[in-house]
Each structure stands twice: as C-alpha cells, then as structure tokens.
Structure 1
Amino acid sequence: MQSGIASPTSATINNPDYPKPTIAWFTVAVLFIAYIFSFIDRMIIGLLVEPMKADLQISDTEISLLQGMAFAVFYTIAGIPIGRLIDRSSRIKIITVGVCLWSFMTMVCGFAGQYWQLFLARMGVGVGEATLSPAAYSIISDSFAPNRLGMAMGVYGLGSAVGAGLAFIIGAAVISLVASTGDVSLPIVGDVRAWQAAFLIVGAPGFLVAAVLMFLPEPARRSTTGQPVTTAPSSEVLAFAKSRKGVLLGIFFGVGFVNLSVFAAVSWLPVLYMRTYELGLSEAGYIAGGAMVFAGFVGLLGGGWVCDKLGGQAHHRMMVSAVAGVGGIIGGFLFPLMPGPIGATILFIIFFIACTTPVGAAISALQQISPNTMRATLSAAYLFVVNIVGMALGPTATALIGDTFFPQAEGIRYAMAIVAGFGFVGAVTLFYMTARRLKSDAEGAVTPANAASA
C-alpha cells in the first residue's frame, strides 16, 4: 500500500482547540531558553580545550571523547526510553527534572580534578539533556497548526545556535576575567581553575529555568485531525516506522551527517583560531560565538520562514535543507583552509547557516509525517541517530584524523575540512532523495494514521 503524509487541512490550520497564540509562543520562548542553556552546558568545553589539556595532561582525542562520546552515548541510550515515557506522561514535568539533572552535572564538571571524573559527569549531562527535545518537539507540535509549525520549530531550534555561541562568549568572558591569576575564588566552593569556574557559572542558572518550566501549561495531545489522542503501543510505532522507513532513515541520517559536519567544525573552531591564526583564547571565543549566533538566526528563522511560505509541506522542508546544504559543502571544505581569520569567519557563517537550516526544517517534517501518539518516541529515535552519527563521531573523527595524519600544531584545520565537507555531501544527497520521496507520497494523499496501518 502506498504511504504518504496528510496535507494541512482547514481542520488542522484553523482548529480552535490549539492554545492561544500568546500561550503557545510563551511556551516556545521558555523552551527556547531551556535549549540555550542545554547547549551552553553541552558546548562550553569546546572553548576550554587548551587550559584543560594543560591541567589534565590529555590529548586532542581524549578531549574529543569528552565533547562527543561521553555525552552522546548516554544522551542517545537514555533517549528512547525517555521518549516512550514522554509519550505517556507529563512532558513539562519530565523536562523540569531533566533541566535540574543536567545543570547539576554541569556543575559537577567544575569540581572534577581528573579525566575520569569529567567523563562520568559528562555522561550525566547527556542523560539530563535527553529529556528536552523529544518533549519540546511534541509540545510545540500540539501548540501550532501545521502551516505555523516551521517558524515555531525554527525559534526553538535557534536555541542550539545561540546556546553554542553563548557558550564560547561566556567562556571567553570568564577566562578573560581570571587571565591574570589563573584561578578564581567562588563563594563556598573556594579557589578553582578558570576552566572549572566556567562549568560552575554556566550550570547554576539552569535551576532558575527549571523553576519557570514548572508553571508552563501542558497542551492537549492531538492527532492530525486535531482530536485528542492516546499513546500508541510499541507494536504500532514499529509498524509505522517500517512503513515509512525510507523517509525516516533519510531524515535521520541526513541530519546526522549535518551534525557530523557541525560538530567536527564547532568543537574545534576556537582551537582553529588559536593554533592557526594565533588569536588569544578570549578573542577566539568572542569571534566564534558571535559568528554562530548570527548564522543561527539566519539559518533557523530564515529557513523556517521560507519553508512555511512555500506551503509548509514536508517535502518543501527537505528540499530547502538540500539547497542550503550546497552552501554547507562549499563552506565546510573551505573555511578551515583560509589564510586569515576574516575569510575563515565569513565562510564559516555560510557553512553554519547551512547547518542550522535543517534543525527546524527536518524536525518539522518529521513531526508532520508522524502520528502524535508516537511523536516523542520517533523524535527520540531521530535524536539517537543524529547524535551518534554527529556528536559522538564528529569531534573524535576530526581529532583522530588530525592526530594521525596532521600532527603539526595547525593540522586540525585539514581534519576539520575533510570531515565537515564530506559530511555535507552525504547530507545533501539524502535530503534531496527524501524530498523526492515525500513529494511522491504527498501526491498519494495518504494520512500518517493510514500509513501506520499499511
């Protein structure tokens, strides 16, 4: 039986049971702030590579395991059961607990004095952060009609770019403040190294975010016809996934290859500025962070707006991702190889716009083709693939290529170009193929509910 997606109908677009726009956008705003802090806590380590290496006497490859593997493995392993729990329980309560957990574990990183302690703490950060996006995707999808979903998802997804950029900017500010002494004295904690202080400072505000989250309303779960729904059994989830495996794998691995590129680049971007262009740590953090925030606004908000203007259907979103990905190929291969920091930054911005565009577009497409009864579960599966391919492999693949084939001080630039460029080649191929498949499915006008029983 041919499977497809439901086109937006008047019932879904004008459904009076959706939350009021002010409530819906307030919910997005709070989730956006939570996402910012999740990425600050996740990415701060990228700016602290050099001081951590000096204090702990570890290699680029060992640092990359803290950036990727330690976080991503438990983030992804915990994601599937948490996704099932989200489909069955209060999404707001689960996110609130998760924010408290990852904030606490980020602060624990600040007390670590040995490599293994940092590794275990990063695992805890990953488990906590596994609660946020599957629940947020489900909540946002229940708060906006399909023709408004792209912009809403883009705003939420913007938290990743803003958070990663702010991680570098805040980290640079902390390092700059204590540059003359090498240590900082904190109340209760006492004297700590600058990189330890950075973890403590960025982890603490998460508890305030959790307090605000507790008061968010829980939107009603609804089907593609706007009606309340119950949770699908595992057998139904598997049947749907099997019926749409080509599309799901295209979305999952397409974004996975984007993540491979982006983590290969972003995890080592301040290091590139310091080793290749001989910038100071604080200067590298400010430039890298500012470029990411600017490019994130363009890619996520611009990409979401374009997708919605084109009609808001899933195949439009994937085609926009494919077209943007061409810029990712060009920027990924070239920005690390530029002779000066200005050219590198301009091309990195082009690259990062391409990286952020699919963040809102692809996940919006996934929500549109997924029955609400299993959205969080499928989102968790999506995050499993995306983060194993991207977060777990991207930083480490870059470090291993650099340590093995380009051991000179600035050799990391060549490793970044290889991984970032070829990652986008794979992503564009999958996005284009998935867009064509989705367009064909849309012409069949088969609903997700029917596809699940195909």
Structure 2
Amino acid sequence: MSDRKIVRQPTAPAERDGWYAYYVLAILLLVYVFNFIDRQILAILAEDIKADLGISDAQLGFLYGTAFAMFYATFGIAFGRLADSWNRKKLITLGLSFWSIMTAASGLARGFLPLAACRFGVGVGEASASPAAFSLLYDYFSPRVRTTVLGIYSSGISIGAGLGLFLGGAILKGWADLYPEPALAPLGLKGWQVAFIAVGLPGFVLAFLVSSLREPVRGGRDGIVVEDNPHPFREVGAMLLGMTPLANWPMLGRQGGRKAVLLNALAGLVIASCAALLALVSHDLLQWAAMGIGVYAVFSWAQTLAMRDPVVFGLIFRTPSLIRLILGGSATVFMLPALMFWFVPFLQRFYAVDAGQAGAVMGGAYAGLGITGVLAGGIVADQLRQHFPQGKLVTWLGGMAISLVAAFLSLNSNSLPFAYATMFVSHFFASVAYGPWISMVNDLMLPRGRATVSAFAYMVNTMIGVALGPYLIGHISDALSASGIESGEALRRAMLTGLAITIVGILVVLTALRHVAKDEAGLLDRAKALGEPLS
C-alpha cells in the first residue's frame, strides 16, 4: 500500500486556467505531435523500406506495431508509476530526447534487425510522454474543461500522423529529385533514411522547452493534495524488477510468499507455451516471442501492483466501468492504428497512387480533420456530461460507430475520391471519440494514480491494437498474396478483417453505460474501503 498521505483541501489558488496553463498545454501538444510524427512516418516510408530491405508485409507490421508496442507498453507502466511520484516535466524531457535519438538512428539502419532495434528504442522513449502529460494537465486545469483540454492534447495524434505522412512523402520525392541515382547520394543514404533523420533531430529543441516548464502541485486542482514520494526510483525499480522473468521471484517471495512465486511461474509457463505454439503455426518466432514477453510483463506488473499498492490495483480492476472502457476501447484500436498504417500502402497498391500524393492528401486530411474531431468531441462530451453522467461515454460510442461504418464503405469502394472521402469521415469521428475515452479513464482514478491508470490503459490499448492489428493484417495480406491474389486486393481484404474486432469493442464499452455514473460518484468511498488514508 502507498504510504503517501492524501489530504483533502480547497483547490489551490495558483495555476488556474490562465495563460500559463494554456502555454503548458501548447508545449505538451507539440510533444505529442512529435510523438506521432516519429511513429507514423513509417507508414509513408513502408513501400520504400520494403523494396530496399526486401522484407514482407508481416515484417512491416512488426516494425510499426509489435517492435514499438511491446516496449511502449511495458515501459509505459513503469514510467506511469514514475510520473505519479517524480517530477513529470523531467520524465518527459528525458523520454523525448531518447526517442528523438532512436528515430534519427533509424535512418542509419541497413537491415531489418537494426531497424527493429531502433523501433524498440522509440517505444521506450515515447512511453514516458502521455501518462505524465495527462497527470500534468489534470493539475493545470479545472474539472469543467478537462475533456476539452485532453481533446486538444489528443489532437497531437492526428496532427503528428498527418505531418508524418506529409513530411515523409515530401522528403521521399525531394530526395529522389535531388539524387535520381541513389548511389550518388551522400553516404549512400536512401530517401526513407533521410526522412527518419530529418524528423528525429528537431526533438532536442522541444526537449529544452519542456525542461523549462513549472511543475504544479499534484492533486491541487481537485483539492486532494498528495505528499511527494521520498523514494520514487525505488518504487519504479521494484516494478521493473517485478516484470523481469526469474529475477522477480525473490521479491515476489518476500512480499507474497511461495504462492505468489508459483502463480507467477505458472503464468509464465502458460504464456510461453501459447507463444511457442503461435510461433510454430505462423513461422514467426520474433513476433510471438515479443508478444509473450510483453504479456508476461503485464501479468507480473499487475501481480506486483496488487501487493505494493492494493488501492490503485483495486480501483483499476474492481471498477466495472473502468475495466470495460479499457478492454473495449482497446479492441476498437485494433482497427485504428492498422488503418492509419496500412491505408497509404493500400492506396499505392490498389489505386497506384504515388507516395508524394498520398502523403499530401492523407497528411493534410489527418491533421485538419483530427484537430476538428478531437475539439468537437471534447466540447460535445463536456456539454453532455453537464446534463447526464454518461455524456462522455455516449460521445465515444457515437464517434466509434460512425467511424466503423465509414471505414467499411471506404474499403469496399472502387472509386478513389469516394475512398478518400469516407476514410476522412472515419478519421474525423474516430478523433471525436478519443478525448472522451481517456478523460473517462482518468475520471475514475485518484489523482495519485492517474498516470498509472493512463499507462495501464495505453498498455492494453497498445498490446491489443498496435502490437497485433498491423502485424496480423500484414500476415493475412502475405498469405492472400501467396495464394495468388493481387497485392492491393489482398491488403484490402486483410484490412476488412480488422473491422470485426472493432464491433466487439463497441459492444463491450456499451455494457459500461449502466455503471459509469455510480462508479464515478463512489470513487472516494471505494478508495477508503480499499484502505486509502483520506483525511
């Protein structure tokens, strides 16, 4: 259990929703934009990387999804815990610097494995950003505007994804025009390598700006001030150790006895067996070894959290609406990253669109529609929430349902303008849904656990959606192509299979409607019942 005392007091008078709070929001928004530029640029570079390195669609899906996601998910949990107990601006500064280095280093990769290693590093660095940013923004803004604020922050997804596509396409075209003979280019660099270097290096300037921000009082805007943790790295070190196979057993034994060690060993054996079976069936050891390690790390983290902080553990796993939001929302993400990554290669293969055109059209649309979508979603959700407690959830459900239908229409069209238009509609309404989702997750947690629950939500989101979605669609596309189906049609059919998982996710979240009002109203009572020292 946490030994940090929580004191109820009037909302701190400092750091109200003034100009400095919005300055902090602008800087954190830029961080999130860079986060998604460095992540999404791979989509526009995919066809060039595939041709240059001679890799398959499944390997492309691994680079975009699993290689990034497993490290993002596992380190996100540890960094989320660190953000709940340490200086959040320092954490973001260090993480941003590291992922910028790894993005630039991707441009020096000459093979699949070195590029995968760089993607591992990008995942580690980017894991530091959002949990700490959510926690900071909750301490800078009042409850009445938080969904809108998180919606503005979340627009970084669309802005960054759009800029990544636009910049990547422009750099590919510009480099090809400058050096039509690749062998004559400086250091023999290809266009896709230059693109990684160009978007990675500016992150260091932004890291300097983040380092200059002021750290607000944790929980001050909620009148629930949390004392600083005197040993934040000890807690995080224990958490990382708790996710490490074999090395975690002595700690589990001290805290939970022989039963805890046996449970962990049994879980590890089951996970390893499942991963081995999937690797045998798919002939892809790297994918399923990475997934197995990630799933084991998550189980071990949850086991450690239950022993070290049963209050936060209980609030996560015993709050019906929260666990439904996280699981169902993550299932819908199976569609979104996969579509964001594979739609550009689909345009190139199915409609013979070149990278420059695809980057310009999709990049501009993703950025513009994403911004308006998250702003609209935040405003609508905040307004509906004032009239009935399920307002945020209704906004999410409506946005995701419309997004799903539009994506289905786009992939079943033979008209390029119609495919563009309906995918734009899909992206807009998916953006509408994002802010309300993460806001609801944070509404159902104490201030001292918000970064942890955000990290957990992102971890599940990343493992289900990002690690599996792009890879499985690539794997299905490879299998269909091997059977003789044309590559563009094979990719289209593979993408359609991902939409079915989204339907399941929407149905799961729908069951949270009757729980969310009661769960939010009873948060402090549940925390006290779990042993939280409220006074």
Same fold (TM over 0.5): yes
Contact 1:33/1:159 (8 A) holds in 2: yes
Per-residue CA deviation, residues 271-316 of structure 1 (Å, 9 max, x unaligned), is 1111111111111111111221122123200000101111357631
Structure 1 residue 223: deviation in Å? 6.2
Letter in 1 for 2:526: N
Which residue number corresponds to residue 13 of structure 2? 16
The partner residue of 2:390 within 295, 299, 315 is 315
Between the aligned partners of 2:17 and 2:380, the Cα distance in structure 1 is: 24
Contact 1:310/1:316 (8 A) holds in 2: yes
Between the aligned partners of 1:48 and 1:56, the Cα distance in structure 2 is: 12
Between the aligned partners of 2:130 and 2:120, the Cα distance in structure 1 is: 17
Structure 2 residue runs without a partner (length 5+):
1-8, 230-307, 531-535
Between the aligned partners of 2:422 and 2:449, the Cα distance in structure 1 is: 39
For the pair 1:159 / 2:156, whether they are aligned, the reply is yes
Contact 1:106/1:199 (8 A) holds in 2: yes
Per-residue CA deviation, residues 38-96 of structure 1 (Å, 9 max, x unaligned), is 10001111111111111101111111100000000001111111111111100000000
Contact 1:250/1:433 (8 A) holds in 2: yes
The partner residue of 1:415 within 460, 471, 494 is 494
Contact 1:314/1:364 (8 A) holds in 2: no
Which residue number corresponds to residue 327 of structure 1? 402
For the pair 1:361 / 2:436, whether they are aligned, the reply is yes
Letter in 2 for 1:285: G
Structure 1 residue 447: deviation in Å? 3.2
For the pair 1:430 / 2:508, whether they are aligned, the reply is yes
Residues paired across the two proteins, number = 437
**TM-score, normalising length: structure 2:** 0.78
Contact 2:385/2:392 (8 A) holds in 1: no
Instruction: Among all aligned residue pairs of Structure 1 and Structure 2, give the percentage whose two residues are the same amino acid.
Output: 31
Between the aligned partners of 1:89 and 1:221, the Cα distance in structure 2 is: 10
Which residue number corresponds to residue 283 of structure 1? 357
After superposition, the Cα gap between the structure-2 partners of 1:18 and 1:226, relative to the gap in structure 1 and judged at 3 Å, is farther
Between the aligned partners of 1:20 and 1:395, the Cα distance in structure 2 is: 39
Between the aligned partners of 1:344 and 1:452, the Cα distance in structure 2 is: 52
Which residue number corresponds to residue 291 of structure 2? none
Between the aligned partners of 1:452 and 1:112, the Cα distance in structure 2 is: 52
Structure 1 residue 392: deviation in Å? 0.5
Structure 1 residue 375: deviation in Å? 0.9
Which residue number corresponds to residue 258 of structure 1? 332
Over aligned residues, Cα RMSD in angstroms?
2.1
For the pair 1:397 / 2:472, whether they are aligned, the reply is yes
Which residue number corresponds to residue 192 of structure 1? 189
Structure 1 residue 205: deviation in Å? 0.7
Superposed counterparts of 1:126-141, under 5 Å? 126-141=123-138
Please tell me whether Structure 1 or Structure 2 has the larger radius of gyration of its CA atoms.
2
Contact 1:316/1:435 (8 A) holds in 2: no
Which residue number corresponds to residue 99 of structure 1? 96
Contact 2:377/2:436 (8 A) holds in 1: yes
Superposed counterparts of 1:127-276, under 5 Å? 127-180=124-177, 181-182=179-180, 183=182, 190-222=187-219, 225-230=222-227, 234-244=309-319, 246-276=320-350
Between the aligned partners of 1:217 and 1:328, the Cα distance in structure 2 is: 38
For the pair 1:346 / 2:421, whether they are aligned, the reply is yes
After superposition, the Cα gap between the structure-2 partners of 1:68 and 1:32, relative to the gap in structure 1 and judged at 3 Å, is same
Structure 1 residue 19: deviation in Å? 3.4
Contact 1:328/1:350 (8 A) holds in 2: yes
Between the aligned partners of 1:273 and 1:314, the Cα distance in structure 2 is: 42
Contact 1:221/1:229 (8 A) holds in 2: yes
Per-residue CA deviation, residues 342-378 of structure 1 (Å, 9 max, x unaligned), is 1011111121123222321111111111100111111
Of 81-90 and 254-263, the range deviating more from structure 2 = 254-263
Letter in 2 for 1:432: L
